[in-house]
Amino acid sequence: MDKAVFDYQNVLQNLPSLPGVYRMLDAGGKVLYVGKAIDLKRRVSSYFQKNDLSPRIRLMVKQIANIETTVTRSEAEALILENNLIKALAPRYNILFRDDKSYPYLMLSGHDFPQMAYYRGEPRKPNQYFGPYPNGYAVRESIQILQKVFRLRTCEDAVFANRSRPCLLYQIKRCSGPCVGHISKQEYAADAASAVAFLQGRQSELIDELNRRMMAAAEAMEFEQAAELRDQIQALTRVQEKQFVSSNQSQQDCDVAAAALKDGLPCVNLVMVRGGRHLGDKSHFPVGGEADTAQEILEAFLAQHYLTAGVPAALIVNGQLSAALREFLQQQAGRKLAIASNPIGERRVWLEMAEKNAELAILQKQGSRATQTQRLAKLNEALELEDAGRFECFDISHTMGEATVASCVVYDKGAMQPSEYRRFNITTAAPGDDYAAMREVLSRRYGKLADEEGKLPDAVFIDGGKGQVGVALEVMAELGLTLPIIGIAKGEERKPGLETLILPYLEKTLQLRQDHPALHLIQTVRDEAHRFAITGHRARRAKARTASTLEDIPGIGAKRRQQLLMRFGGLRGVAAANVDDLCQVEGISRTLAEKIYNALH
């Protein structure tokens, strides 16, 4: 709808001169853009009165059919609401950064003998949490360091409570064996406290304390204890040399965020320093909207990232932040926050490293895009398709007909699209009948899409031979669809590179050379379909076997089964429990406990 139809003058004269959030909507009621303003009237009016708008904004203004506003008490409050709406609505013209998962933490549980574990989610008392870390690898690396130096347990509570002898980690000196009393509660607490000091960056203080304890043990002629403390000190020193950044303020937690914009491709590199340890970095690319400057990218990232993530004591950025954003970050931190946009000394080096990482990430992204574009062009050429860019691939997974699962993965916009993947539990096909399973999954998938309830692909890959392709053609004919079907028949001895492509729409088969770019793309999509199917199958099979094992025991209904699994952390924990432990569960008599024990052993 154009501006002549949209009476923006009437809307503008009724807007208040107050801080708030505005939403631009198109004729279908879809939100095009969400913005904040310290003065709603002045800010929204500028879209219709200025002549120097960027091409992107001019295009958006032409589509505006309505404007909605929400008044807030301050610009900082408007910024919070703006970014909540951006994340919830994903407007086309907003810069949107989206994390698939929350950032991981390292957790020390609140038990008498604390467990050290990888953790994602909302922190819970009385556990202690350290991080966040940029990725799961960084957490696991920290856990390995702490295992080597302090030998804290990593086992689940159900396993810890039911051990009768120490596990392999004790044998290889990665755990002190608290499960079987090889270390006292006080000694273990001291090791846990040392681990906390390490994670908080108090390394010098920690090494001094360990030296003091080593000397005391030696004077008391407890030479074995003194040797263990000496090994801890040496291990800590090696870790310090490798893991710690050079800083005069090594104990201060700090994030370094640098934005870069090159050839229209934006990126923000985020570096995390916790307790003096450089935990790693992560490059973030927006999934929506466009930006004219790196400053816009930086501010959008900081506002969206710290909406849910904890704000460290210091923040180093490569741009000037608005007063509203500074106020918002200060509120989120809940304490004094140091923000530096022109740091000196080692902090400038950190920022320059982040800027370089952002630029390198853009170059890698550009290289990846070029490769995908070439593969896609070669695929269209080899398969004689016209501008095909969206593909769906299907695979069937089962074990001797048990727990059959079908997968559908999607390739679009030059990359796999995990958010569009779907799994189907096969219910109507006879066990082991792959043809019937393929018929069911294709009917379910394209029955809805044929009724215009989704986006149809440009072509469909089937991981299978002529039989599965024949079934696919029958289903498409029944649904009135004319999608190109490509069968991927496994080669001799199922070796990659020897696949035969079955192309019924061309009435021929095709075998591409092993280094053909089109074959690489097909293999990527096919392998992802196989991975997604087999992980779903294994999960379904494990769930079925867990339930049926307990269901087969007389006297164990749904409620008792749930209580047992919750108490012992799963079937493995139930199997590890002895009769006395099983009796502790509500509703489990000794006779029933013996039945359970005998059934699982």
Three-state DSSP string of 131-180 = CCCCCHHHHHHHHHHHHHHHCCECCCHHHHHCCCCCCHHHHCCCCCCHHH
- What pLDDT, on the 0 to 100 scale, is given for residue 2? 44
* Greater model confidence, 530 or 546: 530
The residues near 403 (Cβ < 8 Å, ≥ 6 apart) are 537, 540, 541, 544
Is the residue at 470 inside a domain?
yes
Separation CA 505–CA 267 (nearest Å): 42
pLDDT band at 163 (very low <50, low <70, confident <90, very high): confident
Answer yes or no: do 403 and 526 share one domain: yes
Long-range contacts of 251-254 (CB under 8 A, 24+ apart): 251/200, 251/201, 251/202, 251/275, 251/276, 252/201, 252/312, 252/313, 252/314, 253/312, 253/313, 253/314, 254/312, 254/313, 254/314, 254/315, 254/316, 254/347, 254/350
Separation CA 479–CA 392 (nearest Å): 17
Is the residue at 95 inside a domain?
no
Separation CA 551–CA 515 (nearest Å): 52
Nearest to 209 by CA among 227, 232, 176: 232
CA distances from 405 to 142, 318, 430, 525 (A): 37, 49, 13, 18
* 352 Rama sector, left if φ>0, alpha if ψ -120 to 50, beta otherwise: alpha
Answer yes or no: do 239 and 262 share one domain: no
Is the residue at 370 inside a domain?
no
Separation CA 407–CA 536 (nearest Å): 8
> CATH code at 417?
3.30.420.340
- What pLDDT, on the 0 to 100 scale, is given for residue 239? 56
Q: What is the rounded average pLDDT of the residues 461-473?
A: 93
pLDDT digits (tens, 9 = 90+) for 336-386: 889 998 888 878 888 998 999 999 999 888 888 888 888 999 999 999 998
* Greater model confidence, 247 or 462: 462
Answer yes or no: do 209 and 338 share one domain: no
- What pLDDT, on the 0 to 100 scale, is given for residue 168? 87
Q: What is the rounded average pLDDT of the residues 105-131?
A: 87
> CATH code at 576?
1.10.150.20
Answer yes or no: do 449 and 421 share one domain: yes
Q: Mark which of 192, 208, 243 sits at the end of a domain.
A: 243
Answer yes or no: do 469 and 490 share one domain: yes
pLDDT digits (tens, 9 = 90+) for 287-315: 877 777 899 999 999 999 998 888 888 99
Answer yes or no: do 302 and 225 share one domain: no
Residue pair 151/191 in contact (Cβ under 8 Å)? The answer is yes
Residue pair 415/372 in contact (Cβ under 8 Å)? The answer is yes
Separation CA 551–CA 433 (nearest Å): 27
Name the one residue in this structure whose structure tokens are 């229209």. Answer: 264
Domains: count for the chain: 5
Domain limits at 311? 254-363
Q: Please give the share of the chain, as a percent, with pLDDT higher than 70.
A: 91
> CATH code at 350?
3.30.420.10
- pLDDT at residue 242 greater than cutoff 70: no
Lowest mean pLDDT among 40-44, 74-78, 483-487, 597-601: 597-601
- What pLDDT, on the 0 to 100 scale, is given for residue 1? 40
- What does the CA dihedral 164, 170, 174, 176 come to, rounded to 10 degrees? 70
Is the residue at 30 inside a domain?
yes
Answer yes or no: do 401 and 534 share one domain: yes
- What pLDDT, on the 0 to 100 scale, is given for residue 4? 47
Q: Mark which of 243, 262, 277 sits at the end of a domain.
A: 243
> CATH code at 32?
3.40.1440.10
- What pLDDT, on the 0 to 100 scale, is given for residue 236? 67
Answer yes or no: do 527 and 567 share one domain: no
- What pLDDT, on the 0 to 100 scale, is given for residue 115? 92
pLDDT digits (tens, 9 = 90+) for 207-221: 777 777 788 878 778
pLDDT band at 547 (very low <50, low <70, confident <90, very high): low
Q: Please give the share of the chain, as a percent, with pLDDT higher than 90.
A: 29
- pLDDT at residue 392 greater than cutoff 80: yes
- What pLDDT, on the 0 to 100 scale, is given for residue 494? 60
Separation CA 23–CA 85 (nearest Å): 9
- What pLDDT, on the 0 to 100 scale, is given for residue 439? 93
Other CB atoms within a 10 A radius of the CB of residue 482 amount to 9
Is the residue at 292 inside a domain?
yes
Is the residue at 3 inside a domain?
no
Answer yes or no: do 401 and 524 share one domain: yes
Nearest to 587 by CA among 559, 549, 551: 559
Q: What is the rounded average pLDDT of the residues 558-586?
A: 80
pLDDT digits (tens, 9 = 90+) for 127-158: 888 878 888 878 888 888 888 888 899 988 88
Predicted TM-score (pTM) above 0.75? no
- pLDDT at residue 76 greater than cutoff 70: yes
Answer yes or no: do 444 and 578 share one domain: no
Q: Name the strand (E) or helix (H) holding 551.
A: helix 517-551
- What pLDDT, on the 0 to 100 scale, is given for residue 246? 47
What is the residue-averaged pLDDT of the chain? 84
Lowest mean pLDDT among 59-63, 276-280, 530-534: 276-280
Is the residue at 66 inside a domain?
yes
Please report how many Cα atoms fall inside a 13 Å half-sphere around the Cα of residue 466, on the Cβ side. Answer: 4
The residues near 36 (Cβ < 8 Å, ≥ 6 apart) are 19, 20, 21, 22, 75, 78, 79, 81, 82, 324
Is the residue at 332 inside a domain?
yes
Q: Where are the beta strands (DSSP E) in 374-458?
A: 391-399, 402-412, 415-416, 422-425
- What pLDDT, on the 0 to 100 scale, is given for residue 318? 93
Phi, psi of 14 (to 5 degrees): -100, 5
Answer yes or no: do 121 and 25 share one domain: no
Separation CA 48–CA 2 (nearest Å): 12
Q: Mark which of 322, 348, 363 sits at the end of a domain.
A: 363
Answer yes or no: do 155 and 237 share one domain: yes
- What pLDDT, on the 0 to 100 scale, is given for residue 272? 87
pLDDT band at 71 (very low <50, low <70, confident <90, very high): very high
Other CB atoms within a 10 A radius of the CB of residue 572 amount to 14
Pairing mode, strands 422-425 and 459-462: unpaired
